[in-house]
Amino acid sequence: MKGILKLKISVTALVLLVMSCGLFVPCSAQENSNQDFLEANKAYEAGDLAKAIQLYEALIARAGFSASLCYNLANSYARNGQTGKAVLEYERALRLAPGDVDIRHNLEMLRKDKGLLPEDVPLVHQAGTLLGLNQWAVLVAILLAALALLHLATWHFTLSTRLSYSLTGACLLLLGISSVGIAIQYQKWQEAVILAKTSLLISPFDGAASTGLIEEGRLVRIIKRHDNYALIKDENGRSGSGDGQGRPNSVGAREGGSGWIPDTSFEPIAMTMAAKNSR
């Protein structure tokens, strides 16, 4: 009997030990990440941008993305004159924290300074960017739940037909708006950023004729891929280059503003850790 009791105590102790290890290991990893993060911040503040970038990148490769991590890395790239990388990391930070004022401000200022602002964004698209993709998605879920609850409530509570219809109509209208918002933001989610000023080619082969240039930091949409090339269209629906003064120049590209560029000249904004590390 005593032996059984001892065995039980031993097993319990072992389980507790394993569990405690399991708890401490992540805590320790989180602590290390925070230390690295602060160290990278210190390097940035000291003006050692190369070190700051190296530390932030290593942290992302090891621990993953966070809005603040991407934002700080973007600041480092921006100060280091790497506009493409800076825009990429700001856009990533915005994906994770769409309402962050600092991210929006810095990205807007950088793009304005480099002449990368999009031309004549349609009102619908402007409205679509009021919320992030995840925020639109949550809103849709809330509206669906509200609709279901409203219908359930009418079984038990007496609501006037007018009120019931008004609430249903409002929910459906918001659902429609949210769906459009999701569509717009999902399209933006798929965008990529040009990392270096590159030529737009008429076909996906080495030595193909160029139809123009596309500026570093420009947002593009990937239409299709072929080997190591991607057919892209810039955010203004055309290929073009800025003159650095906020005045974009049309370069008269073929195929309505699309062109082929090598994979190495751009990076998708939304990607997994595995994909990023493989690059």
Partner 1 sequence: MERLVRRTRQNRTIGRIRCMALLLTLAILGFATVSHGAPSVSASLDARRFSVDQTATLTIIINDADGTIAELPSVDGLDFVKGGEFKQTQIVNWSSSSMKSFLFQVMALRPGPFTIPPIAITVDGKQLLTQAITFEVTPAAAGIPSLLNQQGGGIAPPSQSKIQTAGEKEQMAFLRISPVKEESYTGEVLPIEIKAYFRRGLRATLNSQPRLNGDGFVLTESKQEPVQTEEMVGNIPYSVLTWPGTLSGIKEGRHSVSVAIEATLLLPDNRRRSAPMGGDPFFGNDLFADFFNQQQVQEKKIQIVSKDMTLQVLSLPSEGKPADFSGAIGKFELQVKAQPTDVGPGDPITLTMTVAGTGNFDRVEAPVLSQAEGWKSYPPSAKFTPGGGLGQGEKVFEQAIIARSGDKTSIPSLSFSFFDPETKKYQTLHTDPIPLRHNKTEGSEKSENVSADDGAGATEGQGRPDVGAGKTMPQKSNGDQSGRSDAAASLLAPLHQQMGSLQQGFIPLISQTGFQMVVLILLLLLVAVTLFKIRARRLTSNPVLCRQREMARFLELRLREIKKAQEQGNSRDFLAICRRTIQEQLGLLWQTGPAAITLADLRQRLATDSELIALFATAESGAYVGNILSSQELAEYAGKLEHALRQLR
Q: Which is nearer to partner 1, 182 or 201 (CB)?
A: 182
Q: Rule CB under 8 A: choose which of 39, 54, 57, 68 binds partner 1.
A: 68
Shortest CB 53 distance to partner 1, Å:
11
Q: Which is nearer to partner 1, 41 or 210 (CB)?
A: 41
Tell whether residue 206 is a contact of partner 1 (CB under 8 A): no
Tell whether residue 113 is a contact of partner 1 (CB under 8 A): yes
Tell whether residue 247 is a contact of partner 1 (CB under 8 A): yes
225 strand-pairing partners: 230
Tell whether residue 78 is a contact of partner 1 (CB under 8 A): yes
The secondary structure element, H or E, covering residue 57 is helix 49-63
Q: Which is nearer to partner 1, 75 or 265 (CB)?
A: 75
Q: What distance in Å separates the CA atoms of residue 124 and residue 76, rounded to the nearest whole number?
A: 33
- For residue 245 the two structure tokens come to 């003064």
CA angle 245, 250, 256 (to 5 degrees): 145
Span of 209-217, 234-242, 244-252, 256-264 interacting with partner 1 by CB under 8 A? 244-252
Q: Rule CB under 8 A: choose which of 85, 95, 218, 233 binds partner 1.
A: 95
Tell whether residue 141 is a contact of partner 1 (CB under 8 A): yes
Give me the residue label for tokens 């999701």.
182
Tell whether residue 173 is a contact of partner 1 (CB under 8 A): no
Q: What distance in Å separates the CA atoms of residue 125 and residue 123, rounded to the nearest whole number?
A: 5
Q: What distance in Å separates the CA atoms of residue 74 and residue 84, rounded to the nearest whole number?
A: 10
Binding mask of the shown chain, residues 19 to 58, with x at each position contacting partner 1 by CB under 8 A: --------------xx--xx--x--xxxxxxx--------
Tell whether residue 189 is a contact of partner 1 (CB under 8 A): yes
**Max CA separation in the chain (angstroms):** 89
**Exposure b/e, 58-86, CB count within 10 A at least 16 = b:** ebbeebebbbbbbbbbbbbbbeeebbbbb
Instruction: Please measure the distance between the N-terminal and C-terminal CA atoms of the chain and give it in whole angstroms.
Output: 61
The secondary structure element, H or E, covering residue 70 is helix 67-79
Span of 17-25, 64-72, 123-131, 210-218 interacting with partner 1 by CB under 8 A? 64-72
Shortest CB 55 distance to partner 1, Å:
12
192 strand-pairing partners: 220, 268
Short-list 174, 56, 181, 79, CA closest to 128: 181
Tell whether residue 208 is a contact of partner 1 (CB under 8 A): no
Shortest CB 3 distance to partner 1, Å:
46
3-state DSSP assignment of residue 118: coil
| Distance, C-alpha 117 to centroid of its chain | 18
| Binding stretches for partner 1 (CB under 8 A) | 33-34, 37-38, 41, 44-50, 63-69, 71-72, 75, 78-81, 92, 95-97, 101-102, 105-106, 109-110, 112-113, 133-134, 137-138, 140-141, 144-145, 147-148, 151-152, 154-155, 182, 186, 189, 245-247, 269-275
